[in-house]
Each structure stands twice: as C-alpha cells, then as structure tokens.
A and B are shown apart, each in its own frame.
Chain A
Amino acid sequence: MNLLIVEDQKELSNSIITYLSTENYTCEPAYDYHAALEKIHVYDYSCVVLDLCLPYGNGMDILRQLKRDGNPTGIVVISAKDSIEDRVLGLHIGADDFLTKPFHLSELEARIASVIRRRTFEGKNQVKLDNLMLDIREKTLNGSSGKIELTRMEYLLIEYFVSNRDKVVTKEAIGEHLCGNDMDMADNYDFIYTHLKNLRRKLKNAGCADGIKNVYGMGYKFCSVTTKERS
C-alpha cells in the first residue's frame, strides 16, 4: 500500500517513513505544498499523512482539494496546533483522523491502519491470529469454540498490537492509546500490566500462541509469525 507523507520537517518525515516502511507500506515524502498537490494528482495513495503547516501553503487546502477531487484516499492530519477549531475544521472537511504532535509513531501506524481498513475493506475485515480471528469491525475475537469475551481495554490492546506488528511499542504509547492524551497518568503504567496479563491469559486459554513479548521492561513487541490479514 502506498502512503504519502506530507511533512516539511525532513527529520520527522524520515522517521515516519523508516518506521512505516515494512512489507505492508511503501512511503513517499512530500516536503511542501506544491510537491504534495503534484503527487496527489499523479499517484493514488491508500492514505495521506498530512501536516497542516507547510511551506507555500496550508495543509487544510490540500485536504479540501482531495475532497473536491473525490479522492478516496484516507487522510490522517498531524498538526502542531492542537486547537479545537483546527481539529473540528479538519474532521469537518473530511480528514479521517487528527493526531497532535508530538505523537508516538506506533500511534500513527495504528491510526493509519485503522483508516485504511475502514476505507478499503468496507467493513469486512478480519485479522487471523494463529487459530483465532480478530474482527475489527465487530471488535471481537473469535476462537474455534466461539467468541472470546474481551474487555474494551483488552480489545484496544490486541488491536494496537496487530497494527504495530513486529515493532516495539512503549508503555507510554500504549498508555496514551488506552486512556487518551488528556488523562495524565504520570509515569504510572501499572494498569497496562493488569490488562495485558488478562489478555494473555485469555489468548492462552483459547489455544493461541502468545505473541506478546516483553522488551527490556521498556515496552512490548507483538510478533507476527502467525498473523495474517485477510479480507
């Protein structure tokens, strides 16, 4: 899948591209307004990551242009301006998601994955996890013997891991994903451990291989050996 990264800060753009470029995604950078518009006209992208403050123009105008052209691409806006007006305006014009800097790359990947799934699979999307099936539309995990009951937190966790397969995700990133930016949990991420423990137990009971690995006490990594996305 092709992604266009519209971001004028080359360092940030490079990081995003390095992080996202795996077997799933091919990323292209655009560093200014004109380059972005040109690329959008020439190529089709599954998702555009769009910064609002660009040289020679405003990201909002690119967003408007995409919508005017009826371009089916997904759009994730990344902005340093976390004002509610911008957020509301962006989503109103037609952005699929809005992420405020500084964000975790894992969060960005999760948002992109979610936007692409919503757009491409028209609701039918399931991810196979070993012998289990994760239904992203229904937000359920199904085993051979039926549905495995997950709490909202546990579901959010497994979905996040699936979106960030084979990557180390930090506890901070998971914490922010679970409780949002506004919940200031200080450095206390104990709660993740509780939910993760329950999730692992449920996966194990259902006969699924435990793909969640602990990384140096820094975070977790979900290994993809047995996962495969299918529509």
Chain B
Amino acid sequence: MKLFTQYKRITLWVLVVFFLLSSLVYYFLIRRLLFRELDLSMTKIEKRIEDYVQVHHAFPMADSLDDLHIVYAGASQAGSRSFRLISPTKGKNTDNIRELTFFMELDHRWYKVTVSRNLEGIRSTAYMVVVTALITLIIVVCASLLVNRLLFRKLWQPFYASIAAIRQFQLGKNNLPDFPATRIEEFNFMNDHFQKMAANVNKEYLILKEFTENASHEMQTPLAIIRSKLDLAIQDQNLSEIQSTTLQSAYASVKKLASLNRSLLLIARMSNNQYSDSMVINIKDKLYDKIIQFQELWKDKLNVSYELCDAEINANPDLIDILLNNLFSNASKHNIQQGKVMLRLTGSALEINNTGKRIPLDETRIFQRFYKGTSLQDDNNGLGLSIIKQICDLSGITPSYSFRGNIHGFLLQWGTA
C-alpha cells in the first residue's frame, strides 16, 4: 500500500467522522438556540396576557394566527408552569409543536393557558444544516484528495528521485548514485546517508575484490615453486615406490590448488568487469571446433552426437570459450563409462545432455559456489557451474538444469539473435 493511500484512508475516515459529529453537534446547538428564542417569545406572550388580564380583567382574544395558538381552559387548581414538545402522533402529517402551559387566576378561578407554536421552521433549519454539512463534507473530501494528490506528488518527488538514483547504482561499477539536491531537510538527511552508505559499500567491495585478486596472484608464485620442485624431484632415478606415491599425491594437490586459484581469479576478474568487450560470435563454428577438440581427447571413451543450426551470440569471446570448456568438461567428467554426450544448437538455445549418475543435482543450489553435488570424488572444486552461471549472467544467457532418466541436461537460452 502506498503511503498516500494509507494517508488518504485515514484522513477520509477522520473527515467523515468529524463532519458527522460536527453536524450532529451543530444540529442540536441550533435546535437549542431556536427553542430558547421560541421560549423567550412565548414568555413575552405570557407577559402580555398577564398585563392584559390585569388591565381588562379578561383574557385577550385567542389569537389564531397561523403558527400561534392560545387556548384558555378552566382548571381546578394551579399547576406548574412548563414547556413541552409535542411530537406529531403517528399517521398525522403534522409538525412538531412547542407548547407553554401556565396557570393564572382570574376572578378567583384558575385558568390553564396553553400557548403553542408550530415548529416547521426548526425542521427545515435542521434539514438545511444536515444538507449543508453533507455538501461541505463532499467538497472538502474531494478538494483534500485533489490537493493532497498534487501536493504529495510534489512533496515526494525528491524521494522518488533518490530511489531512482539508488536503482542506478551497481556495486563495484564505481558509479556512485547522484542524489538530486532538495530543500527538504528530511530528504537531504536521507540522501546524505544513502550517499555515505553507497560510498562505503563500494569501497569495501573494491577492497574485497582487490584482495581476492591479489591473494590469488600471490599464491601463483609459491605454487609455481612447489610444482617446479616436484618436477625436479621426480627426475631422480632412484625414487622408491613410496616416495613416488607421495610425490604423486603432492602433485595432485598442487594441481587442485592451482585450478582452484585459477577459478577464483576468473571469478574475481569477471566481477571486476575485465571481460566487458563483446562481439558477435558464430557459436556454431565455436562449438564445432570444441567438438573436434573434445572428440580427439575422448575418442573411445565417450560417444558424442550433435545437431547444430546457425546461431550467433553477442558476448565476450574469451568468456564464451571458457563457458564451452566448462560445459564440455562437466559433460565428460561426470559421465559414465562408454557414456554419451548430446548437443543441440538452435537459433537461440544450446542444449548439452550427458549420461551420468542416476541421481539428479539439487536445482536450487546447483549454481552456487562450492556446490559439489553428489560427486564423491573430491577432484572437483565446485566452482565450475558457478562460473558457468556468472558467464551466463554477464552474457545475457539464461541457464537451466534438467534431469530425465539418467540424462543430465543443461539448457542455455539467450535473446533472439
């Protein structure tokens, strides 16, 4: 829910309740006022009657003007003076009546005098009050909605501008968000903090990235020394079997470390945007070369079948080469004896299927770094697929994994070339 909607909802209710309450109060107030005026005028009439009776010793003529009735009636004794309101009896279309009853003595006899007055005026006044209140309510609500809408849009404009600036911000791309200046203190405060945060995050990220790359570089030389020493050690003619086995496992570990290091460097470089140049690549030719290279290696071990259509992709050629290498390596590494590798290239998709273990990989974690799937052999650094994913992300390719029977499949799709 938008802030404005929330605001609108609250103010609307408050307005409605406020107006209803105020018109109610207004109504009663006016009624009271009118009654007082009425009662006052009736008290005046009472006084006039009393004066008349004192002078003439007779009641004045019962005036029967439209809204004023005076009735004299004999009474056995004096009662109290009172005002009362008479509501119309059901079924009769008459107005409310305000009535003053008082007693006076004339010639030692008590008379009850009733002065009554129609309340038609009050009813229409009350009606007017309600209608006016409702109309005012509607006008005020509409006006406030309109004004608020315009005002909100204007007031919140710096906020949306800041959000747009943040959206433009990409980590490690060195384009710190540029927040537009505003006169509103709160927004300036927010922008200030965003700016500082972005700068900090960016700095930390660059330091981390630089660290990864430097650490990997620094490891290369000691690795080169270890490997060269091993290369020398095995030249010894008199190595015992135990020694050579030891050397062999040292070799294997150095190799693992070297390949892990290479993968980390590649990842660091990719996130460093060192592969940003792109060109249109004929993926069919590339793939064909790779298949030949691959078949040379795996001659009798694996059976490769393929179906290639012309296809192009706009990407970095080095990355595409690494991508294909990784896909092919995966397809062969996780294959079975005398297994198959099937390739299908259509205009905008590449499918690589290979036979393998009858256990599917975890689709949700497959592209995570250091995910090793079900492979028990630890010759896998767990970075291959995450590199594939990262290359795909950089090249506008969508990778997906499927498992049918004992066929593991990777589908890469890219925009219509």
Contact = CB atoms under 8 A, between A and B. Distances in A.
B325 A106 contact: no
Contacts of B326: 184
B251 A184 contact: no
A185 B218 CA distance: 25
B333 A186 contact: yes
B297 interface: yes
Interface residues of B, number: 52
A112 B223 CA distance: 21
Interface in A32-64: none
A51 to B, nearest CB: 9
Given A102-B223, A218-B244, 5 more contacts: A19-B235, A105-B228, A183-B328, A184-B329, A215-B244
B40 to A, nearest CB: 102
Contacts of A12: 221, 224-225, 228
Contacts of B239: 216
Nearest to A109: B231
Nearest to A18: B232
A80 interface: yes
Contacts of B226: 102
- Size class of A's contact patch? 35 or more
A82 B265 contact: yes
Main secondary structure of the interface of B (DSSP, over half): helix
Contacts of A1: none
Nearest to B316: A84
Contacts of A182: 321-322, 325
The 5 closest A-B pairs by CB, nearest first: A15-B228, A80-B220, A102-B224, A101-B224, A102-B223
A186 B274 contact: no
Contact of A181 (B247, B262, B296): B262
Contacts of B275: 84
A105 B231 contact: yes
A101 B231 contact: no
Interface string B286-323: 00000001001111110000000000000000100110
Interface string B231-250: 11011000101001101100
B266 to A, nearest CB: 9
Contacts of A170: 231, 234, 251
Interface stretch (A89-97, A116-124, A133-141, A188-196): A188-196
Contact of B225 (A11, A81, A100, A191): A11
B228 A16 contact: yes
A185 B329 contact: yes
Interface in A215-229: 215-219
B206 interface: no
A152 interface: yes
Nearest to B335: A188
A191 B325 contact: no
B296 A153 contact: yes
